Amino acid sequence: MKQRPFSLRSGVITAMVVCWILPIVIVVTVAGLLLNMSYQRAARMELESDATNALTQVEMVFNDAVAASKDVSYDGVVRSAYRKYLDTADSTELYRRVNEYLTQSFSRDSKYQAVFITFWDQQVNAEPYLIGSGTAGFELVRTYHSHASAIRTEMERADTSIRFLVLDGVLYEARNLLDGHFQPYATVVMMCSPQVFFLPINAVGNISNVQITLDGSTFVLTEEGVLENQTLSQTPQTECFEAVVEDHSIAFQGVPGGFNAWAETPWLRSAVVMVALMVLPLLAYVVYLFYRHVTGPMETLARANRLVMEGQRGFEIVDTAPNAEFQRLFNHFNAMSRELKSQFERSYLEQQATQQAKIKALQSQINPHFLNNTLEIINWEARIAENDRVCAMIEALSTMLDAALDRDGRTQIPLKEELGYVDAYLYIIRQRLGEGLQVERDIDDDILPQMVPRLILQPLVENAVEHDLTDRRGGRLCLRAYCRAGLMYLDIEHDGTMTEADRLSVQRVLADTGVKPTRGIRVGLRNVNQRLKLLYGEAGKLSIDETTPGTILARVTFPATKQGNP
């Protein structure tokens, strides 16, 4: 009998009881016994806690200091002022803008005694700086100038790194400022206040002979808040506490009071090891349960969803879920995937059928006026006398009817065949207009096999004839076809003029606003435009405009297709 998957909720509760509650009870019990048995250990933990808190406070101050130096580098104020200086060479304006920026950014910050910005360009004769309130500004500037050379030497090797330097008991923070080419153009140097940066370390109780180490520089912080460069002798009881801030090492060491609980009670180490050995397997079991019942099924769902998004519609999850909840999700996903595939296929078939129906409907619209005129001419010619012209006209009419009826159902034909329909139409029109109609062709034989929409040129030629050339009793009509940059261009250029009303009418037809054209000849233009949109989308275009006075150009543009493939 197939085992029913158990509930995810039951699994989580079981994991919590076995893997968390039991270890916590054990740890708390052992900790209580240890605390009751050893007051000295509690004192040691208090010392470590104080030291950790002190380092945490120092880390926060250093993090703020690092962030402040980054702000100077990244907010762009100094860089913008320096760029303006490069354009104007006005060092006074550079000093004013940078000093104003320093005042706004650091005047209320007690971490700094003074802040300097030194430009590497020797032509800058002003050195912007900010002196903290309540300090002897002249002495601070003089102190900084005594160390400026050593700081500059160090910063030439620093690139974008931040440097903390302790020179003659003075703590500096320095960072290079880079231009748009990542080349240093200035250095911001912050004279730090030792009381703010290191006072939490001096506040740690039950520890003596404290000395601080910052990036390899060792010094002592006096009760007056002054740094003294000195190294105290170490003893076996000396303890060291370390932290790292943005790749900068901060440490302090000293001799704690009391005795070493670890050395006096070796069983304490054994107890800790035993607890760890008990907790680790349980923790591994929790991780295993979580992966089996949560992470694994979620990865399966995510992988299946990604496959569906990549096009594998109808993809189904065949794996069995380890619990009831995810099994229901698997079943729902499979049902959704099947339904998505079904809807997609149905939508595709419906869209394809609709598009074909629209194309067929558009192709089936033939201008009755043209057929009537043609039959009338044939009838007139037949009444006068029998001659070859009547036969030729009947053949041309037959060609036109074959093209219109579209018996083979092709939506695209070679350009050569399409030009044959145009020639048949023009032959009939010449019988009406006589030698007054001048037809020119500029078509390369190499593109004759190119596929074009069926009856795409005849409606445009008919529009030119009926709208302009008939009224003139003739004129010039030029047919051009060419390919360029992957696009096929079909041009019909003829004599004629366009009034403002004509332009508005053509624009409404090409915009496909749904308004029925008022003139029958415009129906052909609308059909051509709609067929281009159906076949090629936005890539198919039709434009009609008067390019030069007395000349109208109708242009069809669509993507060129591979020759010989409709």
CB 510 within 8 A of CB 528: no
Q: Could you give the CA distance from residue 110 to residue 194 in angstroms, rounded to a whole number? A: 10
Q: Could you give the CA distance from residue 141 to residue 191 in angstroms, rounded to a whole number? A: 10
| 40, 363, 399 from 406: Cα distances, Å | 103, 8, 11
Contacts of 116 (CB under 8 A, 6+ apart): 127, 128, 129, 130, 144, 188, 189, 190, 191
Q: What is the pLDDT of residue 414?
A: 92
Selection from 148, 115, 117 nearest residue 133 by Cα: 115
Q: What is the pLDDT of residue 1?
A: 47
| 180, 364, 424, 528 from 401: Cα distances, Å | 71, 11, 10, 18
Q: What is the pLDDT of residue 128?
A: 74
pTM as predicted = 0.40
- Neighbour-count burial of 134, counting CB atoms closer than 10 A to its CB (0-12 exposed, 13-18 middle, 19+ buried): exposed
Q: Could you give the CA distance from residue 66 to residue 163 in angstroms, rounded to a whole number? A: 10
What are the two backbone dihedrals, phi and then psi, of residue 400, each rounded to the nearest 5 degrees?
A: -65, -40
Q: What is the pLDDT of residue 134?
A: 42
Selection from 99, 151, 97, 104 nearest residue 130 by Cα: 99
566 residues of the chain, pLDDT tens digit each? 455 565 555 565 566 666 666 666 676 566 545 654 565 666 677 777 887 888 888 888 888 888 888 888 888 888 888 888 888 888 888 888 888 888 888 888 888 888 888 888 777 766 777 765 444 577 888 888 888 888 888 888 887 788 888 888 888 888 888 887 888 888 889 888 888 887 787 777 767 777 788 877 777 777 666 677 666 666 666 777 777 776 778 887 777 765 555 555 566 667 666 766 676 676 677 667 777 777 788 888 888 888 888 878 778 888 888 888 888 888 888 888 888 888 877 776 666 655 665 555 555 554 545 655 665 566 566 656 565 666 666 666 666 666 665 556 677 889 998 898 888 888 888 877 777 788 899 998 899 999 998 888 888 888 888 877 776 777 888 999 999 999 999 999 988 888 888 888 888 888 765 555 554 446 778 888 888 888 888 888 999 988 888 889 999 999 987 554 44
